[in-house]
Amino acid sequence: VTSGSKGMQIYARLDGTHSSDDIREFARTLAEKLTEMRPELITAKMTKSLRPGKVFIDWSQNVAAKTTITPWSLRGRNRPFVATPRTWDEIETARTKPGSLRQLDLHEVLDERLDRPDPMDALLR
Protein backbone atom coordinates (compact mmCIF):
# COMPACT_ATOMS: atom_id res chain seq x y z
CA VAL A 1 0.00 0.00 0.00
CA THR A 2 1.39 3.40 -0.88
CA SER A 3 0.53 5.24 2.30
CA GLY A 4 -0.89 8.45 0.87
CA SER A 5 1.99 10.27 2.54
CA LYS A 6 5.70 9.46 2.12
CA GLY A 7 6.00 5.72 2.33
CA MET A 8 4.61 2.28 1.82
CA GLN A 9 3.07 -0.26 4.12
CA ILE A 10 3.35 -4.01 3.73
CA TYR A 11 0.49 -6.08 5.07
CA ALA A 12 0.56 -9.75 6.00
CA ARG A 13 -2.28 -11.99 7.09
CA LEU A 14 -1.81 -13.19 10.67
CA ASP A 15 -3.56 -16.05 12.41
CA GLY A 16 -4.32 -14.12 15.59
CA THR A 17 -2.25 -16.33 17.89
CA HIS A 18 0.53 -13.80 18.53
CA SER A 19 0.49 -10.68 20.69
CA SER A 20 1.23 -7.20 19.42
CA ASP A 21 4.59 -7.43 21.21
CA ASP A 22 5.39 -10.70 19.41
CA ILE A 23 4.64 -9.13 16.04
CA ARG A 24 6.69 -6.01 16.84
CA GLU A 25 9.68 -8.16 17.84
CA PHE A 26 9.36 -10.23 14.67
CA ALA A 27 9.21 -7.05 12.57
CA ARG A 28 12.25 -5.63 14.38
CA THR A 29 14.25 -8.82 13.89
CA LEU A 30 13.31 -8.92 10.21
CA ALA A 31 14.22 -5.24 9.71
CA GLU A 32 17.57 -5.70 11.46
CA LYS A 33 18.37 -8.83 9.44
CA LEU A 34 17.54 -7.04 6.17
CA THR A 35 19.76 -4.15 7.28
CA GLU A 36 22.63 -6.58 7.91
CA MET A 37 22.12 -8.17 4.49
CA ARG A 38 21.90 -4.86 2.56
CA PRO A 39 23.34 -2.03 4.71
CA GLU A 40 23.86 0.17 1.65
CA LEU A 41 20.14 -0.04 0.84
CA ILE A 42 18.20 -0.58 4.08
CA THR A 43 18.12 0.85 7.58
CA ALA A 44 16.01 -0.04 10.61
CA LYS A 45 17.11 3.03 12.56
CA MET A 46 14.77 6.01 12.80
CA THR A 47 17.56 8.61 12.90
CA LYS A 48 16.97 10.78 9.83
CA SER A 49 20.67 11.36 9.20
CA LEU A 50 21.10 7.59 8.61
CA ARG A 51 18.21 7.33 6.14
CA PRO A 52 19.05 9.34 2.98
CA GLY A 53 19.15 7.06 -0.04
CA LYS A 54 17.93 4.06 1.94
CA VAL A 55 14.71 2.23 2.59
CA PHE A 56 13.71 2.80 6.19
CA ILE A 57 11.85 -0.15 7.66
CA ASP A 58 9.81 1.25 10.53
CA TRP A 59 9.27 -1.89 12.58
CA SER A 60 8.09 0.21 15.54
CA GLN A 61 4.71 0.80 13.87
CA ASN A 62 3.79 -2.82 14.59
CA VAL A 63 2.26 -2.34 18.01
CA ALA A 64 -1.33 -2.16 19.23
CA ALA A 65 -0.97 1.41 20.56
CA LYS A 66 -0.03 2.85 17.15
CA THR A 67 -2.49 4.06 14.57
CA THR A 68 -1.83 3.35 10.91
CA ILE A 69 -3.99 4.58 8.07
CA THR A 70 -6.05 1.78 6.57
CA PRO A 71 -6.04 0.88 2.87
CA TRP A 72 -8.31 3.07 0.73
CA SER A 73 -8.37 5.86 3.36
CA LEU A 74 -7.85 9.52 2.52
CA ARG A 75 -5.16 11.64 4.12
CA GLY A 76 -6.46 14.86 5.64
CA ARG A 77 -4.52 17.26 3.46
CA ASN A 78 -5.26 20.00 0.92
CA ARG A 79 -4.66 17.49 -1.85
CA PRO A 80 -6.22 14.28 -0.53
CA PHE A 81 -3.91 11.39 -1.26
CA VAL A 82 -5.20 7.86 -0.73
CA ALA A 83 -3.55 4.90 1.00
CA THR A 84 -3.68 2.83 -2.19
CA PRO A 85 -3.23 -0.94 -2.36
CA ARG A 86 -0.68 -1.86 -5.03
CA THR A 87 0.11 -5.01 -6.95
CA TRP A 88 3.49 -6.69 -6.81
CA ASP A 89 3.77 -5.97 -10.55
CA GLU A 90 3.53 -2.22 -9.85
CA ILE A 91 6.21 -2.49 -7.21
CA GLU A 92 8.46 -4.53 -9.49
CA THR A 93 8.00 -2.03 -12.33
CA ALA A 94 9.13 0.77 -10.02
CA ARG A 95 12.55 -0.89 -9.81
CA THR A 96 13.21 -0.07 -13.46
CA LYS A 97 11.01 3.02 -13.79
CA PRO A 98 11.81 5.43 -10.96
CA GLY A 99 8.87 7.63 -10.10
CA SER A 100 6.28 5.22 -11.47
CA LEU A 101 5.14 4.19 -7.99
CA ARG A 102 3.93 7.45 -6.52
CA GLN A 103 1.21 8.50 -4.12
CA LEU A 104 -2.21 8.78 -5.80
CA ASP A 105 -4.80 11.41 -5.07
CA LEU A 106 -8.53 10.92 -4.70
CA HIS A 107 -9.30 11.68 -8.37
CA GLU A 108 -6.64 9.29 -9.69
CA VAL A 109 -7.97 6.50 -7.50
CA LEU A 110 -11.56 7.13 -8.56
CA ASP A 111 -10.61 7.33 -12.25
CA GLU A 112 -8.07 4.50 -12.40
CA ARG A 113 -8.62 2.02 -9.56
CA LEU A 114 -12.30 1.30 -9.06
CA ASP A 115 -12.58 -1.03 -12.05
CA ARG A 116 -9.54 -3.14 -11.03
CA PRO A 117 -9.46 -6.07 -8.62
CA ASP A 118 -8.52 -4.97 -5.11
CA PRO A 119 -5.02 -6.29 -4.20
CA MET A 120 -6.14 -6.47 -0.55
CA ASP A 121 -8.75 -9.14 -1.35
CA ALA A 122 -6.14 -11.91 -1.19
CA LEU A 123 -5.35 -11.02 2.42
CA LEU A 124 -8.99 -11.12 3.43
CA ARG A 125 -9.65 -14.64 2.21
pTM attached to this predicted model: 0.82
Burial track 48-85 (b if 16+ CB lie within 10 A, e otherwise)? eeeeeebebbebeebeeeeeebebebebeeeeebbbbb
Q: CA 113, CA 108: separation in Å to the nearest integer?
A: 8
| Residue from 26, 24, 2, 28 nearest 83 by CA | 2
CATH number of 20-124: 3.30.70.3300
Q: What does the pLDDT look like over 70-94, one tens digit per residue? A: 999 999 888 999 999 999 999 999 9
Tens digits of per-residue pLDDT, 4-53? 998 899 888 889 999 999 999 999 999 999 999 999 999 999 888 888 88
Domain segments of the chain as ranges: 20-124
Give the largest CA-CA distance in the chain.
41
